[in-house]
Amino acid sequence: MNRNRRLFLAGFNPDVALKVHCVSRVVDRNFVLGDEEREMFVALMRRYELFCGVNVLAYCVMSNHFHILLEVPPQNEVIEMEDEQFLKHLRLIYSEDYARSVEQHLKRLNKNQAPKARREYMEKYTRRMGNMSEFMKALKQGFSRWFNKQHGRRGTLWEDRYSSTAVSAGSAARMVAAYIDLNPVRAGMVDDPMRYRWCSYAEAVAGDDHAVNGYEILYAEDDTSEVISSNERAKSILTIDRGDNAHVLKKYRILLAEEGEQSDGNSPPIRGERKSKSHKRRNGYSREEIDTIIKNNGKLSRAEILRCKTRYFTDGAVIGSRSFVNGFFKRMQEKLRTKDDNTQKERKKRASLMHSTGGMKTGEKLYSYRNLQKDVYGS
């Protein structure tokens, strides 16, 4: 961790979890993150989140940048693990061969009764746990390696390290989460964040408990929650009414609607604000849509929830180059074919071009096993 980051963290209570809004952009702001890239980024993010022991409360991966609202555990927490737990944790991001070599080394240290050497050896890995900088570094470097290999390129992918802004618990943290989830709406990509696959709200509406837990944490805290302990917050989360498995999501949907109101840029500026910056046109919810959401108390219909779940977990089951997708279909067809099928005409199914990513500046075209609709949660 560099000196500025240490100074940044030094101003906060080491006994309390810290919330940080992290942002990083692609070099030259190029729109190079297509469906496949965003899918891989989220998968890596969840993997490193588990390894580092941090909480991703909200996130959104756009075409040339990403936002993450991260919760970092108290800085004074001592991480101690038994060998079995430590090795299981290690396998989250390391290969089986590498984990096995670490296991053999630990056995030698235990056999030689060298507790100090064992502790120092394990600290090479545990120091990365509960550490914001290590999480961001591992995530960005891991994705860069995958991206460069996938696209046959070399060099840096990210514009700079990353920017980080400390956020207080309670309403401030919830407002930042809403700002993050509303990014694709403001960009005009979708009319509702639940229709954008690569944000935490869509993942939560689709029924992912990990994503829902982030919002439960946000709603278990009020504006004075900086002083409550982790145990007290855990009790608060347990007392949340989980009726319909979406109690906090109803509250959060109302917040999204209120914060996501569209603006035509013609409303008079607030005193002291410059209209050119504060009142430009913004995409968002219409007043009628907001009133409907509030009237329904933020509740989605069963049909909407089912459509979100179905689309989220089935669309784009196979994404990649044309040869990759066609190869997958051919192998699947060979495995499923029976003797009776051999006499039947082979089904004419080929990879479908994903038009939303076909015009990327890299010239790469992505295909899918299914012909994806523009709106992944469309009717």
Domain-located, residue 199: yes
Q: Is residue 168 domain-shared with residue 301, that is, in the same domain?
A: yes
Q: Is residue 220 domain-shared with residue 289, that is, in the same domain?
A: yes
What DSSP assignment string belongs to 25-38? EBGGG-----HHHH
Q: Is residue 168 domain-shared with residue 21, that is, in the same domain?
A: yes
Please choose, from the candidates 138, 164, 124, 128, the residue with its C-alpha nearest in 3D space to the C-alpha of residue 53.
128
Over the stretch 66-100, which tens digit does the pLDDT of each residue have? 999 999 887 655 566 777 777 877 777 777 888 88
Q: Is residue 263 domain-shared with residue 358, that is, in the same domain?
A: no
pLDDT-derived band at 263 (thresholds 50, 70, 90) equals confident
Domain-located, residue 374: no
Domain-located, residue 137: yes
From 287, 309, 331, the end of a domain falls on 309
Q: Is the pLDDT higher at 156 or at 237?
A: 156
Return the sign of the alpha-carbon dihedral for residues 248, 249, 251, 255. Answer: positive
- The letter for the amino acid at 227 is V
Which two three-digit tokens encode residue 257? 């609607």
Domain-located, residue 332: yes
Which CA distances in Å does 214 have to 150, 197, 237, 253, 284?
A: 31, 17, 10, 14, 23
Domain containing 111: what range?
83-126
Count of structural domains, the chain:
3
The sheet with strand 65-72 has its strands ordered as 55-61, 65-72, 18-25, 163-167
Q: Is the pLDDT higher at 186 or at 94?
A: 186
From 309, 326, 342, the end of a domain falls on 309
Cβ atoms of residues 21 and 69 within 8 Å = yes
Q: Is residue 304 domain-shared with residue 180, that is, in the same domain?
A: yes
Q: Is residue 250 domain-shared with residue 119, that is, in the same domain?
A: no
Domain-located, residue 7: yes
Domain-located, residue 378: no
Over the stretch 306-331, which tens digit does the pLDDT of each residue have? 888 777 766 545 555 666 666 666 66
Burial of 267 (0-12, 13-18, 19+ CB in 10 A): exposed
Residue 205 has pLDDT above 80, yes or no: yes
Q: Is residue 96 domain-shared with residue 168, that is, in the same domain?
A: no
Q: Is residue 221 domain-shared with residue 236, that is, in the same domain?
A: yes
Domain-located, residue 373: no
Q: Is residue 303 domain-shared with residue 216, that is, in the same domain?
A: yes
Over the stretch 125-144, which tens digit does the pLDDT of each residue have? 777 777 888 899 989 999 99
Q: Is residue 343 domain-shared with residue 295, that is, in the same domain?
A: no
Strands 352-353 vs 367-368: parallel, antiparallel or unpaired: antiparallel
Domain-located, residue 379: no
Q: Is residue 277 domain-shared with residue 347, that is, in the same domain?
A: no
CA-CA distance, 15 to 190, in Å (whole number)? 40
Please choose, from the candidates 231, 123, 208, 219, the residue with its C-alpha nearest in 3D space to the C-alpha of residue 173.
219
CA-CA distance, 304 to 136, in Å (whole number)? 34
